[in-house]
Amino acid sequence: MICPARNPSGTRLTKSLTEEVMTDNHYDTIIVGAGIAGLTATTYLARSGRKVLLIEKNRECGGLVNTFTRNGFHFDAGVRALLDAGIIFPMLKDLGIHLEVVKSQVSPGIGNEIMHFENPESLSEYSDLLKKFYPESDGEIDEVIGIIRKVIRHIDVLYGIENSFFKDLKQDRGFIFKKLLPWLPRFIMTIRKINGMNAPVKDYLKSIIKDNSLRDMITQHFFKNTPSFFALGYFSLYLEYFYPRGGVGRLTVQC
Ligand SMILES: Cc1cc2nc3c(=O)[nH]c(=O)nc-3n(C[C@H](O)[C@H](O)[C@H](O)COP(=O)(O)OP(=O)(O)OC[C@H]3O[C@@H](n4cnc5c(N)ncnc54)[C@H](O)[C@@H]3O)c2cc1C
């Protein structure tokens, strides 16, 4: 594994060294890019006995999951917090990696008014905040909050069980029969329901909210083409954000 694919002085690997790597060694897999995806793939392939070459063009691994330190302060270069989504914690457990984390609270605000997403009831507080600034749209706000509540119920199903990828299904029969199989029909029904919510969130909300400013306020957290289900589902996922002590880059350093 080469990571980074530059020598310590920061210059690119020389052609001869690259050629040597490519010709004198046999690799089962070559992965280009040591972001979280490349690091994860490399770790699992290497663990299963494959010989893997991981190539990164930057001096540091991690890609968007990266933290640098200046004068004792940590700065996150890309991602600002992490979401388990039934994957990160089971994966870390599976790899025997301990990551010290703290809760990362999401606190949206309008003007000087700020609220905190602390529990499922915080959605009502968010609704009150929107209504305070857009009283003439209170019916539309109720409708959107109703849709968000429905999406949250779907999210609860999607992430309702531990990710089976990290389970030893041959050994853990209890998980298959008591959790996975009963969950599958609910999962399939939920997937059908959310397929109708693939339109970009801004377009989706246009059919419900007339006021452009209110629409911008609700969608400001997302890229404008984020699918509606994914975007509105964030109001549930906000409660699960966590932050590794020392910066998000601790995750990739540990890999
Ligand atoms: C603005 C923004 C904010 C985000 N915020 C969050 C957040 O708060 N929480 C969250 O969980 N997720 C967030 N995400 C999503 C998350 O960052 C990504 O899903 C994840 O980091 C993608 O990982 P990756 O390994 O696929 O790609 P990257 O992290 O982009 O890694 C790709 C790597 O490949 C390297 N590379 C590229 N080309 C070459 C080449 N030719 N040769 C060698 N190396 C190469 C790059 O240098 C880089 O290291 C955010 C994404 C963006 C864009």
- Amino acid 9: pLDDT: 44
Index of the ligand 1 atom closest to the CA of residue 60: 49
Do 133 and 205 lie in a common domain?
A: yes
Q: Whose CA is nearest to atom 3 of ligand 1?
A: 79
Residue 174: Cβ within 10 Å count: 9
* Whole-number percent of the chain with pLDDT over 70: 90
Q: Does residue 83 lie within any of the structural domains?
A: no
Q: Does residue 124 lie within any of the structural domains?
A: yes
Q: Does residue 81 lie within any of the structural domains?
A: no
Amino acid residing at 174? G
Q: Give the residues across from 67 on adjacent strands.
A: 76
Q: Does residue 253 lie within any of the structural domains?
A: no
For residues 51 and 42, give the distance between their C-alpha atoms in angstroms, rounded to a whole number: 9
Q: Does residue 237 lie within any of the structural domains?
A: yes
Do 161 and 37 lie in a common domain?
A: no
Q: Give φ, ψ of 39 to 5 degrees.
A: -65, -40
Does the Cβ of 237 fall within 6 Å of ligand 1?
Answer: no
Index of the ligand 1 atom closest to the CA of residue 5: 43
Domain range enclosing 126: 109-243
The pTM (predicted TM-score) of the whole model is 0.79
Does the Cβ of 104 fall within 6 Å of ligand 1?
Answer: no
- Residue 179 confidence (pLDDT) above 50: yes
Q: Of 3, 30, 79, 224, which is best to mutate to test ligand 1, by the most ligand atoms within 8 angstroms of its C-beta?
A: 79
Does the Cβ of 249 fall within 6 Å of ligand 1?
Answer: no
- Residue 17 confidence (pLDDT) above 70: no
- Token pair for 10: 């920061």
Kindly give the distance from the C-alpha atom of residue 55 to the centroid of ligand 1, in angstroms, as a whole number: 15
Do 123 and 199 lie in a common domain?
A: yes
Residue 243 host element (H or E): strand 241-244
For residues 157 and 189, give the distance between their C-alpha atoms in angstroms, rounded to a whole number: 10
210 band by pLDDT with thresholds 50, 70 and 90: very high
Whether the bond between 8 and the residue before it is cis, its omega within 30 degrees of 0, is: no
Between β-strands 101-103 and 67-70, what pairing exists: parallel, antiparallel or unpaired? Answer: unpaired
Q: 237, 202, 234: which is closest to 217 by C-alpha?
A: 202
Do 56 and 119 lie in a common domain?
A: no
Last residue of a domain, one of 46, 63, 80: 63
Q: Give φ, ψ of 2 to 5 degrees.
A: -110, 120
Do 171 and 227 lie in a common domain?
A: yes
Does the Cβ of 36 fall within 6 Å of ligand 1?
Answer: yes
From residue 96, how far is each of 28, 65, 89, 108, 128 by CA, in Å? 25, 20, 10, 35, 44
- Buried-exposed string 67-96: b where 16+ CB fall within 10 A, e elsewhere: beeeeeeeebbebebbbbebebbbbbebee
Max Cα-Cα span within the chain: 71
Q: What is the mean pLDDT of the chain?
A: 87
- Token pair for 34: 């040591």
Does the Cβ of 30 fall within 6 Å of ligand 1?
Answer: no
- Token pair for 191: 């997937």
Index of the ligand 1 atom closest to the CA of residue 83: 11
Residue 214: Cβ within 10 Å count: 19
- Residue 7 confidence (pLDDT) above 60: no
For residues 82 and 58, give the distance between their C-alpha atoms in angstroms, rounded to a whole number: 22
Mean pLDDT of 130-145: 96
How many domains does the structure of the chain reveal? 2
DSSP state of 239: G
Does the Cβ of 65 fall within 6 Å of ligand 1?
Answer: yes
